[in-house]
Amino acid sequence: MAFSMKQRANTGLARKATAATSRVPAMVVRAVAAPAPPAAATETKNAFGVFRLSYDTQNEDPSLTRSWKKTIKVAVTGASGNISNHLLFMLASGEVYGKDQPIALQLLGSERSKEALEGVAMELEDSLYPLLREVSIGTDPYEVFGDADWALMIGAKPRGPGMERADLLQQNGEIFQVQGRALNESASRNCKVIVVGNPCNTNALIAMENAPNIPRKNFHALTRLDENRAKCQLALKSGKFYTSISRMAIWGNHSTTQVPDYVNARIGGMPATDIIRDMKWFREEFTPKVALRGGALIKKWGRSSAASTAVSVADAIRSLVTPTAPGDCFSTGVISDGNPYGVRDGLIFSFPCRSKGDGDYEICDNFLVDEWLRNKIRASEDELQKEKECVSHLIGMMGGACSLRGAEDTTVPGEV
């Protein structure tokens, strides 16, 4: 089968795309709709099957598009996988970035998944989402991350048989080193990066350290699924509907050392500990219920929880592009530099955060950390420090041996 070679000479990506194309001649680029190019641009060289360079958008109803914002470019890795198969449709629907926010999707897959990527693009096309203005697919991160305003890094290699977490750190760390460098060269200088592929905190750290041109605070590791699951468990335990739970912080690593914070959580505006008067449950059962939820689910469902993971990625983005309710927070793994809780600098660590809705955030500084919480947070911090040492060679750091070899497996069950 033949892939088309596209010249995006009439789009904003022109310079970068041409550079990347010359580097990787077998590149696949597929544009569902490019921003209204001159008529000549619709002459596509070597168009493959149903693929074309662009649509002429001039016939569109201006009453629809007049109030729209400038199109944002969202790069997604692991784009042919199960999580993306939910997430991409949520993004295209306008549910995440808003009904006035047109979007271009730039999808990264592997050589092996090229055809699957085309299938995903065809399904997106058949879905006729008005806000979806362009879909491009490719296998070169330097090209796919071109001018990206957001990079949603879903892809990671699954753990093979007999591999331990230390091996996974190494294997996926190398991928995130390459992708971090590609972000550094190609993405928007203010690109927001959300890492989902595991081990996501340390993968985010590696990407960040390899992308010095992008602000360190723009890198996130997804702990929102943990937050959502924690809210659900508090709802189940208290008999209150889940919308009544607030200030549900996840601290630390997205692993079984994560710390769902019952101390600061609220139920119907009251301290959770005033509603659920069962400290034994909070201290012994709550954290495992959250951390092992994915494993419980995979036993029922027979496959990993792609849909709710995608929902949590959508939630994580929405929390950055809409203002946080007064007094509330959301959880995300971000760089610990200068945090108000004494966690050592230089780790991607989950904190309670709030946002003005401008894509930026700040770490909430008014959470009470009691002794129980302090000890749990320290244990997760120690784990992240060890993970960092295991990948020191990938982040330009002098490092010793990886002390996680043979350690207990703290990977969240139900994930790779």
Residues near its own copies (CB under 8 A)? 33, 42, 49-50, 52, 54-57, 59-61, 64, 80, 85-86, 89-90, 93, 95, 115-116, 118-120, 122-128, 130, 225, 228-229, 231-233, 235-236, 239-244, 267-269, 289, 293, 296-302, 305, 307-308, 311-312, 315
Which amino acid, 31? A
DSSP state of 176: H
Q: Give me the least distance between CB of 311 and its own copies, in Å please.
A: 4
Distance of CA 132 to the CA centre of its chain: 19
Q: Of 31 and 211, which CB lies nearer to its own copies in the complex structure? A: 31
Beta carbon of residue 288, minimum distance to its own copies (angstroms, whole number): 13
Q: Which helix (H) or strand (E) holds 220?
A: strand 219-221
Within 8 A by CB and 6+ apart from 151, the residues are 74, 75, 76, 77, 145, 183, 187, 191, 192, 193, 194
Beta-carbon contacts of 276 under 8 Å, excluding residues fewer than 6 positions away, are 234, 237, 238, 267, 282
Sheet holding 266-267, edge to edge: 245-246, 266-267, 270-271
> With respect to its own copies, which residue has the nearer C-beta, 210 or 233?
233
Question: Which of 91/395 has CB closer to its own copies?
Answer: 91
Instruction: For residue 340, give the amino acid letter.
Output: P
Q: What are the residues facing 151 on neighbouring strands?
A: 75, 193
d(Cα 409, Cα 156) in Å, to the nearest integer?
Answer: 18
Compute the least distance from the CB of residue 74 to its own copies, in Å.
Answer: 17
CB of 42 to its own copies, least distance (A): 5
Nearer to its own copies, 139 or 186 (CB): 139
Query: DSSP assignment of 277-326, as one string?
Result: --HHIIIIIIHHHHHTHHHHHHHHHSS--HHHHHHHHHHHHHHHHSPPPT
- Please state whether 242 falls in left (phi above 0), alpha (psi between -120 and 50) or beta: alpha
- Least distance CB 183 / its own copies (angstroms): 27
Pick between residue 56 and residue 164 the one whose CB is nearest to its own copies. Answer: 56
| Residue 202 vs 223, nearer CB to its own copies | 223
Amino acid at position 187, single letter: A
Joined tokens for residue 51: 């693929």
Q: DSSP letters along 189-203, please? A: TT-EEEE-SSSHHHH
From the CB of 140, what's the least distance to its own copies, in Å?
Answer: 20
Q: Which is nearer to its own copies, 161 or 302 (CB)?
A: 302
In this complex, which beta carbon is closest to its own copies, that of residue 205 or of residue 230?
230
Residues 6+ apart with CB under 8 A from 367: 247, 249, 261, 264, 329, 341, 352
Beta bridge partners, 72, equal 103
- CA contacts within 13 A on the Cβ side of 310: 20
**CB of 184: closest distance to its own copies in angstroms?**
32
| In the complex, least distance from residue 127 CB atom to its own copies, rounded to whole angstroms | 4
3-state secondary structure (DSSP) of residue 162: coil
Pairing of strands 330-335, 348-354: antiparallel
Instruction: Give CA angle at 390 (384, 396), nearest 5°.
Output: 100
Query: Is residue 254 flagged as an active site residue?
Result: yes
Catalytic residues: 254
